[in-house]
Amino acid sequence: MISVIEKSKCCGCNACGDICPQNSITFKTDIEGFWYPEVNMDTCVNCGLCEKVCPQLHVDQLKKNDYQKPIHTIAAIHKNMRIRWNSTSGGAYTALADVMLESGGYVSGAVYNEGFTGVHNYVTNNPEEMDKLRSSKYLQSNAEGLYRTIKQLLAKGEKVLACGTPCQMAALRSFLNKDYENLIIVDFICRGVNSPKVYRAYLDSLEKKYGSKVVYVKAKNKELGWRNLTRKVTFENGESYYGVFMEDDFRRGYHTNVFCRPSCYNCQFKGFPRISDITIADYWGIEKIDKNLDSNVGTSMILLNSKKGNDYFQLVKDCLDYRETAFETIFAGNPALTKPIGPAKVDREALFEDLDSHDFDYITQKYFPLRKANLQKVTIKDRVKSVFRLCKSFLDNIVDFIKHPASVIATYQINHRKNTELLGGKIRIEPNVTLDIHPSAKIRVESSVDFGRTEIKGFYTPTCLKMTAGTELVFHDGPITRYGNHTYPLRHGACIEIINNGKLTIGQGACNVNLTIMCAKEIKIGNGVRIGRNVSIRDFNGDHVIINDTYVNSAPIVIEDRCWLCTGCSIMPGVTIGTGSVVAANAVVTKSVPPHSLVAGSPAKVIKENIEWY
């Protein structure tokens, strides 16, 4: 009979409970929130099936496949952007599952329990349930009943695509004890599974801070970009929390290996051959291989491990943009493919004892507080690179002065003038930029800007900035956007005039070439705003007027966060562009635009509502 002497040798797959003919095995959750089998000796008949099905006891027999290593390595993105947006990576799981569902088959995956108390494995043939199956949950899922259900479906001749952690899928192979032609097994590159108990404590702390119950969780939300690893939690009161990478307490605990299952630190299901037909994961490093498959919205890695997996991919590939890549390219960005996580550097026993008597914030501060080192681990290699960058920057400045002395002098002058205030950033003036700035005009730089930037070596379209007396220009910093916080690229060809005591504020974002801004009142451009080529923004029409009841000659403009102004559009006086909206190419906006709307035409009209864009 199964007996857990060392917790590090039990992966919690639940297969022993499913195979027991007497239902003698139940699962007891320990102080860490992980479950382990317990045998009722009064009903156990000592048949030994629980030991025979345990994947931990039969790793060598289970780790076999048609190929020693994947026959094909694929980088892929789903052609449906909404699916890709809502997926953990590039939408590979949805592509695989949809083909199975369309053929009348069943799929399995992990879904949240009601109230987000945990996660359990779920089997369905209903396409409408894909939304709750899609996306990784990053905590251990309860698989009780999964193996029985799948075996019963297969015995009836039903087709099944099963997806789970490598240890769960190894347990499924062991449970079935034979291969089924009507079964596709999919696993993913698993770093480790976290404690459901800790996760619920984390959500409890957020509910306390926001004064409202959690109604939605996305472990890898992409509003701030795929690479930012942002957890989004939405509450009943409509507010949302965005936890970015290591600033998020739960992710920091996970990535410092604090509360994964004990068996994860000695995982037996790494490397090759893979036990599954297909392995999916994030394709970290895709930007170095094929930029056409990377827009920071997520790219999937797909490993085809068996003949059956390769054949199944042929049925799926039409809904993907994909290319085959070199097998060797997958390792740098996915160390969890071949090796387990390192041991926790905290006293786990004390941590979980504290969790029983304190809240999540307490254990966060005591065991894994946010430190600068958490945000970016600095290695010796990083330090060498930093020194190299400083040296290169120094030499570049010398070369710039030799090649473009006027721009170097202009950069110094604008940053050191009396009414320029540098608050965390500075202005770089590129060649062929004309500055006409009154001494009383105020410039405040909270975030750096590259004025007149070009992407074409040696090509600088004339660019200008005019500021009359009493005007103000602000480049402000703000919360991180999907593009990160970086130097604002104000591309060449821009013509910006601030007159009549006007004030122009520009947040984090970017603009393309030939931007025209006429500011005589006030123009506010929020964070995450992307401005296309030849865009015109003006809150003032000059001294000429049209005599009618509705004409507005001068009025403030507000462009709220995360808007996209496409090529050639014009934003006229008095307009507010609502958060998350898109103005189509060549549109003329004369009236305010509601949030999350797409407007087009002249004059611009709403043609689509409730949009999302990246």
Give the model confidence (pLDDT) of 170-181 as tens digits: 999 999 999 999
Q: Do 333 and 422 belong to one domain? A: no
Q: Which of 9-13, 384-388, 417-421, 582-586 comes out lowest in average pLDDT? A: 384-388
How many other CB atoms sit within 10 Å of the CB of residue 296? 16
Q: Do 181 and 297 belong to one domain? A: yes
What confidence score (pLDDT) does residue 180 get?
A: 97
More confident residue, 385 or 517: 517
Please state, in angstroms and as integers, the Cα–Cα distance from residue 344 to each residue in 28, 111, 348, following that order: 23, 27, 8
Q: Do 170 and 286 belong to one domain? A: yes
What confidence score (pLDDT) does residue 485 get?
A: 67
The string of pLDDT tens digits covering residues 462-471 is 999 999 999 9
* Domain interval for residue 551: 417-608
Residue 397 clears pLDDT 70, i.e. is over it: no
The percentage of the chain sitting over the pLDDT mark of 90, rounded to a whole number, equals: 86
Q: Do 144 and 283 belong to one domain? A: yes
In a domain, residue 574? The reply is yes
The string of pLDDT tens digits covering residues 60-73 is 999 999 999 999 99
Mean per-residue pLDDT, 321-338: 96
Q: Do 472 and 332 belong to one domain? A: no
In a domain, residue 86? The reply is yes
- Name the average pLDDT for the chain: 94
Would you say 243 and 150 are in contact if contact means Cβ atoms under 8 Å apart?
no
Q: Which of 337, 360, 386 is at the close of a domain? A: 337
The string of pLDDT tens digits covering residues 181-235 is 999 999 999 999 999 999 999 999 999 999 999 999 999 999 888 999 999 999 9
Q: Do 330 and 422 belong to one domain? A: no
Mean per-residue pLDDT, 525-539: 96
What confidence score (pLDDT) does residue 391 get?
A: 79
Mean per-residue pLDDT, 300-310: 98
Q: Do 430 and 281 belong to one domain? A: no
Would you say 576 and 592 are in contact if contact means Cβ atoms under 8 Å apart?
yes
Mean per-residue pLDDT, 486-502: 94
In a domain, residue 215? The reply is no
The percentage of the chain sitting over the pLDDT mark of 70, rounded to a whole number, equals: 96
Is 492 one of the catalytic residues? no
Mean per-residue pLDDT, 474-491: 81
Q: Do 475 and 584 belong to one domain? A: yes
What confidence score (pLDDT) does residue 553 get?
A: 82
Q: Kindly state the greatest CA–CA separation across the chain.
A: 96
Q: Which of 96-105, 141-150, 203-212, 552-561 comes out lowest in average pLDDT? A: 552-561
Checking DSSP bridges between strand 570-571 and strand 536-538, what pairing results, if any? parallel
Reduce the secondary structure of 414-469 to three states and give it as a string.
HHHCCCEEECCCCEEECCCEEEEECCCCEEEECCCEEEEECCCCCCCCCEEEEECC
More confident residue, 117 or 386: 117
In a domain, residue 56? The reply is no
CATH of the domain at 551: 2.160.10.10
Residue 334 clears pLDDT 70, i.e. is over it: yes
More confident residue, 612 or 322: 322
What confidence score (pLDDT) does residue 122 get?
A: 98
- What is the SS3 assignment for 181? coil
Checking DSSP bridges between strand 320-324 and strand 463-467, what pairing results, if any? unpaired
How many other CB atoms sit within 10 Å of the CB of residue 398? 11
Number of domains in the chain: 2
What confidence score (pLDDT) does residue 374 get?
A: 63
Mean per-residue pLDDT, 587-605: 97
Mean per-residue pLDDT, 86-108: 98
Q: Which of 64-73, 369-378, 589-598 comes out lowest in average pLDDT? A: 369-378
Residue 376 clears pLDDT 90, i.e. is over it: no
What confidence score (pLDDT) does residue 344 get?
A: 92
- What is the SS3 assignment for 529? strand
d(CA 585, CA 570): 9
In a domain, residue 474? The reply is yes
In a domain, residue 376? The reply is no
Q: Binning pLDDT at 50, 70 and 90, where does residue 478 land? A: confident
In a domain, residue 229? The reply is no
Mean per-residue pLDDT, 328-335: 95
Q: Do 320 and 421 belong to one domain? A: no
In a domain, residue 289? The reply is yes
Q: Do 428 and 328 belong to one domain? A: no
Q: Which of 289, 305, 337 is at the close of a domain? A: 337
Residue 556 makes CB contacts below 8 A (sequence gap 6+) with: 521, 522, 523, 524, 539, 573, 574
Q: Do 312 and 434 belong to one domain? A: no
Q: Do 322 and 444 belong to one domain? A: no
d(CA 492, CA 509): 16
Q: Which of 337, 371, 405 is at the close of a domain? A: 337
58, 404, 486, 544: the catalytic one is 544
- What angle separates helix 360-367 from helix 348-357, to the nearest 10 degrees? 150
The string of pLDDT tens digits covering residues 226-243 is 999 999 999 999 999 999
The string of pLDDT tens digits covering residues 542-588 is 888 788 877 778 999 999 999 999 999 999 999 999 999 999 999 99
